[in-house]
């Protein structure tokens, strides 16, 4: 049962389709029956290296302006885990010509909204405004790209906010420590192992000098992508972009890039993590996946949808519904530019142990990889993916996000229009060979998570500052600037 009121980590599904009372087009014909209109984007690159992609949509008088910087949690300076995300918050502070939080004056105060998020590979700033405010917002984005001017008071107060974000998502949430432990337990070498949100101690170690250096190093036109989606006139937009961004200099220094490669795993491993106030045990199984632009990514995406999208998905049906050993299940492959992480997880129910949950997850994955996949089930997930894509693209912000992810993870905005075709072309054999290669035949890390033993004998030190500050964070879209 899916309750509307619950915001769920995930979940879901299987086949044997019951005939609906009115018969729709057969799901196999679904993809063909429902056309997803392509995003008619326009792309250009300014002389200073700034890439600009725009897509018009006049269905409402709003426009989304997004700036995606090619820098993320993996680029945190050594000893400064969480820095890229902290920096993202500081981009809303003063610049040469803008006061603190003036971005909110330019967006929220005129009927728009803004936010930002930091992921392992990328930091994106995204706003939507009434379309008559487009030129102002472009100007302001150019201003903070070139003239950020954070002072110490701003830095201190915003760092405290980020530390509260860490406490809220990692320390207060009963499963925060569990999800935060997956990256450090899964990677041995790649900076992805430090996560994104960081920890209290390393955030405390950051300085204003770090902020200035980070801005100079990464926030430059040849490391940025500007996306404009919605209600605008192309000629006007081009003119405004040139005026706002054209004069920003491209620094001579090269942009540092992470060139560390995560080595293949040589063995399976199991780790035991604990936390306070954990009513139900949990387990996660992780494998190293391919980068997002791998030819196998589409097959793995379809596999994840078969396993965990909806109440008819295989993991939900088996662990949550039939066996009743899990409260939640998930199977995710978040896109990354380097080796990604494939994660299967379950939060238990009815006294199931992590070992029981792990065995049940494994059994369903093996079954998918080795037994015939019914055609109707594959058709079902393909129609789910089409429907989800259409829902994402109803808004200017969603259209812009589709473009941004295509550029960041595939190097090409046109991928936003190829993505669904590639998913529709995935065959059962593709699903099974990808699962065999990356999961069945690969080394697995198991993370078991349970309630910590009570240690009442000696008084504990203040918990939040000392609780094993674990390099952190993989939240679905990454930590955001956060709105109440």
Partner 1 sequence: MTVLPAMPIAQPLDALPPPGAPRPFVTPVPHVETLDNGLRVVVASRRTLPLVTIQLLVRSGAETDPPALAGLADMTAGLLTMGTTTRSATQIADAAEALGGELGSGAGWDRSQVSLTVTRPYAAAALALVADVVLHPRFAPRELARARRQAQDHLAVTLGDPGSLARLAVDRAAFGTSAFGHPAGGTPGSLARMTRRDVVAQHQTWYRPDNATLILTGDLDAAGARALAVAAFGAWVRPAAPLPAARTDDTRQVAPASVVIALPDAGQAGIALAAPAIARDATDFYPGVIANAILGGGYSSRLNQELRIRRGLTYGVGSSLDARRGGGVWRIAAQTKNASAAEFVQVTLDEVARMSTSAPSAAELDARKLAVIGAVSRRYETTASLAGVIAGFEATGIAPAEMTRTIAALEAVTADDVLAFARTHWDPAALAIVVAGDAAVADPLRERHPGLRVIAAGDLDLDRADLTRVRPAARPSSR
The residues in 230-249 that bind partner 1, with binding defined as CB under 8 A, are: 231, 238-240, 242-244, 246-248
Q: Between 308 and 339, whose beta carbon lies closer to partner 1?
A: 308
Sites for partner 1 among residues 250-279 (CB under 8 A) = 276-279
Q: Whole-number minimum distance, CB 53 to partner 1, in Å?
A: 17
Q: Whole-number minimum distance, CB 142 to partner 1, in Å?
A: 7
- Give the length of the chain: 484
Sites for partner 1 among residues 110-169 (CB under 8 A) = 110-113, 128, 130-136, 139-140, 142-143, 146-147, 156-161, 163-165, 167-168
Q: Between 394 and 441, whose beta carbon lies closer to partner 1?
A: 394
Q: Whole-number minimum distance, CB 132 to partner 1, in Å?
A: 4
DSSP 8-state assignment for residue 167: I
List 225's β-bridge partners, or say none: 51, 68
The secondary element (H helix, E strand) that includes residue 396 is helix 396-410
Size of the site for partner 1 (CB under 8 A): 123
List 51's β-bridge partners, or say none: 45, 225
Query: What Rg, from alpha-carbon coordinates, does the chain have?
Result: 23
The secondary element (H helix, E strand) that includes residue 348 is strand 340-348
Q: Between 97 and 257, whose beta carbon lies closer to partner 1?
A: 97
Interacting span for partner 1 (CB under 8 A) from 30-38, 179-187, 253-261, 424-432: 30-38
| Residue in 342, 201, 226, 366 with CA at minimum distance from that of residue 285 | 342
Q: Whole-number minimum distance, CB 82 to partner 1, in Å?
A: 14
Interacting span for partner 1 (CB under 8 A) from 363-371, 392-400, 416-424, 469-477: 392-400
Q: Between 67 and 439, whose beta carbon lies closer to partner 1?
A: 67
User: Rounded distance, CA 36 to CA 22, Å?
Assistant: 24
Candidate list 43, 49, 321, 433; residue touching partner 1; CB under 8 A: 321
Candidate list 38, 40, 45, 59; residue touching partner 1; CB under 8 A: 59
| Residue in 164, 124, 198, 178 with CA at minimum distance from that of residue 477 | 124
Tell me if 184 sits within 8 A of 193, measured CB to CB. Answer: yes
| Residue in 298, 292, 258 with CA at minimum distance from that of residue 408 | 292
Q: Between 59 and 427, whose beta carbon lies closer to partner 1?
A: 59
Which class for 127: exposed (0-12), middle (13-18), buried (19 or more C-beta within 10 A)?
Answer: buried
Q: Whole-number minimum distance, CB 295 to partner 1, in Å?
A: 26
**Cβ within 8 Å of residue 341, ≥6 positions away:** 182, 183, 186, 187, 192, 286, 287, 288, 289, 333, 334, 474
User: Rounded distance, CA 328 to CA 339, Å?
Assistant: 26
Sites for partner 1 among residues 346-375 (CB under 8 A) = 347, 349-350
User: Rounded distance, CA 68 to CA 281, Å?
Assistant: 38
- Residue 101's CB is within 10 A of a number of other CB atoms, namely 14
Q: Per CB under 8 A, does 285 bind partner 1?
A: no
Q: Whole-number minimum distance, CB 35 to partner 1, in Å?
A: 7
Candidate list 91, 170, 308, 361; residue touching partner 1; CB under 8 A: 170
Q: Between 186 and 312, whose beta carbon lies closer to partner 1?
A: 312
Q: Between 441 and 452, whose beta carbon lies closer to partner 1?
A: 452
List 446's β-bridge partners, or say none: 270, 285
Q: Per CB under 8 A, does 197 bind partner 1?
A: no
Candidate list 85, 185, 220, 393; residue touching partner 1; CB under 8 A: 393
| Residue in 425, 249, 460, 278 with CA at minimum distance from that of residue 354 | 278
Alpha carbon of residue 409 to chain centroid = 11
Q: Whole-number minimum distance, CB 363 to partner 1, in Å?
A: 18
Q: Per CB under 8 A, does 317 bind partner 1?
A: yes
Sites for partner 1 among residues 62-101 (CB under 8 A) = 62, 96-97, 100-101
Sites for partner 1 among residues 441-480 (CB under 8 A) = 452, 463-464, 467
Alpha helices for 228-278 (secondary structure H): 234-245
Sites for partner 1 among residues 417-436 (CB under 8 A) = none
């Amino acid at each position: 049962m899916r309750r509307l009121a619950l915001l769920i980590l995930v979940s879901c599904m299987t086949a044997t389709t019951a005939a609906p009372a009115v018969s729709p087009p057969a799901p196999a014909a679904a993809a063909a029956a429902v056309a997803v209109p392509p995003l008619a984007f326009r792309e250009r690159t300014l002389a200073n290296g700034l890439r600009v992609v725009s897509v018009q949509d006049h269905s409402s008088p709003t426009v989304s302006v997004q700036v995606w910087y090619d820098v993320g949690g993996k680029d945190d300076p050594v000893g400064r885990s969480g820095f890229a995300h902290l920096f993202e918050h500081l981009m809303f502070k003063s610049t040469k010509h803008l006061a603190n939080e003036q971005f909110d004056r330019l967006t929220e105060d005129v009927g728009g909204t803004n936010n930002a998020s930091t992921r392992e590979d990328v930091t994106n700033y995204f706003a939507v405004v009434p379309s008559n405010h487009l030129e102002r917002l472009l100007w302001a984005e150019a201003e903070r790209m070139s003239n950020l001017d954070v002072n110490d008071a701003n830095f201190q107060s915003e760092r405290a906010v980020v530390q509260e974000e860490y406490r809220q998502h990692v320390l207060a949430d009963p499963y925060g420590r569990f999800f935060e432990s997956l990256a450090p337990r899964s990677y041995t070498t790649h900076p992805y192992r430090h996560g994104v949100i960081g920890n209290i101690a390393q955030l405390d170690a950051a300085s204003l000098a770090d902020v200035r250096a980070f801005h100079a190093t990464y926030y430059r036109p040849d490391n940025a992508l500007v996306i404009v989606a919605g209600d605008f006139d192309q000629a006007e937009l081009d003119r405004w972009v040139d005026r706002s961004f054209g004069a920003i200099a491209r620094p001579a220094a090269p942009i540092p890039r992470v060139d560390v490669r995560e080595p293949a795993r040589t063995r399976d491993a199991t780790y035991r993590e604990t936390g306070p106030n954990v009513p139900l045990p949990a387990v996660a199984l992780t494998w190293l996946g391919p980068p997002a632009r791998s030819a196998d990514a589409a097959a793995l995406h379809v596999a994840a949808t078969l396993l965990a999208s909806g109440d008819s998905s295989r993991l939900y049906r088996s662990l949550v519904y039939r066996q009743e050993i899990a409260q939640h299940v998930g199977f995710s492959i978040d896109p990354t530019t380097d080796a990604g992480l494939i994660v299967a997880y379950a939060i238990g129910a009815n006294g199931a142990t992590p070992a029981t949950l792990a065995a049940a997850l494994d059994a369903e994955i093996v079954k998918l990889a080795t037994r015939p996949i019914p055609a109707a089930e594959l058709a079902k997930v393909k129609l789910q993916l089409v429907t989800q894509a259409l829902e994402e693209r109803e808004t200017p912000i969603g259209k812009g996000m589709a473009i941004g992810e295509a550029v960041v993870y595939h190097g090409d905005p046109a991928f936003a229009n190829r993505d669904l075709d590639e998913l529709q072309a995935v065959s059962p054999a593709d699903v099974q060979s990808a699962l065999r290669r990356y999961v069945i035949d690969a080394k697995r890390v198991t993370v078991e998570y349970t309630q910590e033993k009570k240690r009442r004998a000696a008084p504990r030190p203040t918990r939040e500052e000392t609780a094993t500050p674990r390099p952190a964070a993989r939240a679905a879209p990454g930590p955001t600037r956060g709105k109440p």
